[in-house]
Amino acid sequence: MQGKIFTIDDVCAFIEGLSDKQSSVFSLVLGALSALSFAPLYLFPFYMFALPLLLIIAMKSDNYKNAFSKGYLFGFGHFFAGLYWIGNSTAVEPSIPDWTGYILVAVLSSYLAIFIGVVAGGIKYIYRNKPVKPYLFSIVISFIVIWSVGEWVRGFLFTGFPWNLSGYILGFSDIMMQSTSIWGSYAQTVVVLMLSFVPFLMMERNWRAYSAVFGIVTILGLIAYGSLRIPEDVEFIEGAEYRVIQANIAQQDKWPYENWGKNLITHMEMSEQNEIKNPTYVIWPETAVIYSLSEEPTRRQLISKILDNKGGAVLTGFPRRQRDPDATRIYNSFAAIDDQGQLQGIYDKNHLVPFGEYIPGFIRSISYALGLDKMFTGGQDFSHGETGNTISINGMPPVGVLICYEVIFPGEVINSDIRPDWLLNITNDAWYGNSSGPRQHLLQTRIRSIEEGLPLIRSASTGISAIVDPYGRIVDQVDLNKRGVITSKLPSKLKERTFYSLYKEWPFACISIMLIILNIVLYRRISPQQR
């Protein structure tokens, strides 16, 4: 018996056969399944399955408001399943019930789901009373444009949260991510969305050949460009040695006062253990030292002993106190300490984490009632830094310092006034345990290297620490929840700046405009009989 070939009509009939409640539950489940396409699983077929079904659900809704609600449910499932790991953060705080972390995930997902609700509602509004099949390709293009523009808006609105952009689904392949050096992560989202709809469009006879050819050419093009771009060997800057420390200190053991000295000694002892006795630069993670080093020269002198008066610097994160007449401010800071215990550079984190490092004023009262204000900040907000993040230290190539999630923002990791030669990401992912969060975070640091054509060193409290070359390849790493040390020379930056580093989101804007123009042309070419 010959197998049945499913068509667009079959999909539409299936969706039409669902009750409103069934359609709502189905949308929620689809959204959750789509999150499996991201790191660390990279199950791309779930995107190919979920997004076309969301499109049909939207088109078969009674009106655009109903379509918005279905898209919103899809979005809630999508973001809750993709960001569940944030809920682990309260498990390390004995004074806060574990379930409060998942309330925070639900609140964040409720906000982010609006963007996908707009996609579904917008599609229904634009193509209201239009049959699906004659307008199929036009509908798909509109879906792709609205979704990708929505991700771009999500990246900066209300300080931005560009986590799990659709383009990151190709992160399983260094080769296929090289195109972000041309057009960046938001345009990569367009490519991924187009590929996601190829199997769906192949269900329609009129688009079968075109879709297959497009899919094959696009995949081969990504592979060919990436293969030609990446050299076989990694080039290093001769001379200085960089040592990255991952002490793997659990979050609940990090902040108690009685552990401050012990944890400092642990970092110092690990910094001196290796075949290279005195590395030039030693790198510790975010808040590796809890003491306010800007106020404590004695402890800076102690730390400098690991350099043995041979130059170089210890690069570490610490919470910096600034005592003003009216109040004491706290900054999440980075410091470079030379071999004499002197501060050679300080950077205060600019892009703070909402709810994690400060509580937005309009919901502060609710946060206090739930105890969420103490989850990361201990009840006091961190202050925003005001200086650029490029620092030059003791002959070291200029470095762009990125503290924690500052590295997740495409096009915003470089100080435009003083361009660095490499990037340093110090972070503390210990809050999130053995989850997808640290793995997704690492992927985004690698993609920033590809976009900017710069090497990157990452030091994470419990992992994943890594040395990354300017093609996003991991040269060496310490795995999650392991104690370890990496000693390596710094990979060389690219000789020429990447296209993306020069023009940022202009390629994405041009691609979006071209798709809109193409869509208008296709829309107008549909015959009156088909309408």
Cβ atoms of 174 and 473 closer than 8 Å: yes
418 and 319 in a single domain? The answer is: yes
Residue 241 and residue 271: Cα distance in Å, rounded?
Answer: 12
* CA geometry: angle 84, 89, 91, nearest 5 deg: 105
Residue 493 and residue 398: Cα distance in Å, rounded?
Answer: 12
275 and 306 in a single domain? The answer is: yes
Residue 2 within any structural domain of the chain = no
Residue 62 and residue 128: Cα distance in Å, rounded?
Answer: 9
| Mean pLDDT, each 10-residue run in order, the chain (531 residues) | 72 93 97 97 96 97 96 98 88 69 90 97 93 91 97 93 96 97 98 97 90 96 97 92 94 90 94 76 95 93 91 94 86 94 93 76 59 55 88 90 96 90 94 91 97 97 95 96 95 97 97 95 74 59
Domain limits for position 451: 242-350+386-491
Residue 287 and residue 294: Cα distance in Å, rounded?
Answer: 13
Residue 172 within any structural domain of the chain = yes
260 and 113 in a single domain? The answer is: no
What is the value of pTM for the model shown? Answer: 0.93
Amino acid at position 487, single letter: T
Give the CATH number of the domain where residue 434 resides: 3.60.110.10
The three-class DSSP label of residue 151 is helix
274 and 399 in a single domain? The answer is: yes
Of the candidates 287, 282, 258, the one whose C-alpha atom is nearest the C-alpha of residue 270 is 282
368 and 474 in a single domain? The answer is: no
* pLDDT tens column, 103-148: 889 999 999 999 999 999 999 999 998 889 889 999 999 999 999 9
Residue 374 within any structural domain of the chain = yes
The domain tally of the chain equals 3
Residue 110 within any structural domain of the chain = yes
- Residues paired with 354 in a beta bridge: 358
Residue 49 within any structural domain of the chain = yes
Residue 287 within any structural domain of the chain = yes
291 and 391 in a single domain? The answer is: yes
Residue 321 within any structural domain of the chain = yes
pLDDT at 388: 87
- Residues paired with 108 in a beta bridge: none
Cβ atoms of 347 and 424 closer than 8 Å: no
Residue 399 and residue 415: Cα distance in Å, rounded?
Answer: 10
The three-class DSSP label of residue 384 is coil
For residues 99, 104, 106 and 107, what is the CA-based torsion angle, rounded to 10 degrees?
150
pLDDT at 93: 67
47 and 175 in a single domain? The answer is: yes
| Helix residue ranges, H only, 305-376 | 364-370
Residue 513 and residue 190: Cα distance in Å, rounded?
Answer: 12
Q: How many residues does the chain have?
A: 531
281 and 378 in a single domain? The answer is: no
204 and 99 in a single domain? The answer is: yes
326 and 184 in a single domain? The answer is: no
pLDDT at 485: 95
Cβ atoms of 280 and 316 closer than 8 Å: no
54 and 126 in a single domain? The answer is: yes
Phi, psi angle pair for 365, to nearest 5°: -65, -40
Cβ atoms of 271 and 307 closer than 8 Å: no
**Residue 266 to residues 81, 182, 333, 464: CA-CA distances in angstroms?**
36, 43, 20, 18
User: Helices H, strands E: what count in the chain?
Assistant: 15, 12
206 and 283 in a single domain? The answer is: no
Residue 40 within any structural domain of the chain = yes
Tokens representing 445?
């640091």
- Residues paired with 458 in a beta bridge: 425, 466
